[in-house]
Amino acid sequence: MMTQPVVTPLVPRPHLARPARVVVALNDGPQARAVLATFRRQGWEVHVPANGVDARQVARESRARAVVLDATPDGDESGYLTCKKLLLERPTTKVVLVGENVLDDDRRLAAFVGASALVGASNPLGVVSAVMGLRLPSLS
């Protein structure tokens, strides 16, 4: 006599079916477009706010796992200030800052505001890697 295998029905888990979400607030340019394209190819849901200040609201509304910010001032505040405010609102969000010419003082400031990483703008794959946790540049 042959027994039938026990089949356990799959439990729907819509919260697991959604792709990871990232907010990318970078000045438009070839590096920024490369970052956006790479996240999309990896299956991430990408949100692009009008500026760094709007990134906080977009991150809240989209429940983004990570936010990529241009470190240079955008309007009234720099990416460093936006990072600090964002982490006060959403402490578990990974924030990666992107700077033009990254110096030791910039790295210290990024660490002070709680950024996960500070990556040079000329390294779009480094930005994506820092967000995805493949290689997290040291801030110290």
pLDDT at 136: 41
Exposed / middle / buried, residue 116 (Cβ in 10 Å: 0-12, 13-18, 19+): buried
Give residue 117's domain range. 19-132
Residue 81 belongs to a domain: yes
Residue 123 within a domain = yes
CATH of the domain at 69: 3.40.50.2300
pLDDT greater than 70 at residue 9: no
24 lies in some domain: yes
pLDDT, tens digit (0-9, with 9 covering 90-100), for 82-91: 999 999 999 9
What pLDDT digit, counting tens, does each position of 94-113 carry? 999 999 888 999 999 999 99
Decide if 103 is inside a domain: yes
Task: Give the pLDDT band (50/70/90) at residue 27.
Answer: confident
Is 13 inside a domain boundary?
no
Write down the pLDDT at residue 118: 94
Domain count, the chain: 1
Closest CA to 131 of 93, 100, 103, 104: 93
Tokens representing 17?
């079916």
Distance CA(134)–CA(56), nearest Å, equals 24
Mean of the per-residue pLDDT values for the chain?
Answer: 82
Report yes or no on 4 lying in a domain: no
Residue keyed to tokens 């200040």: 53
- Per-residue pLDDT tens over the stretch 39-66: 998 888 999 998 888 999 999 999 999 9
**Residues 94, 60 contacting (CB under 8 angstroms):** no
Cα separation of the two ends of the chain: 67
DSSP state of 77: B
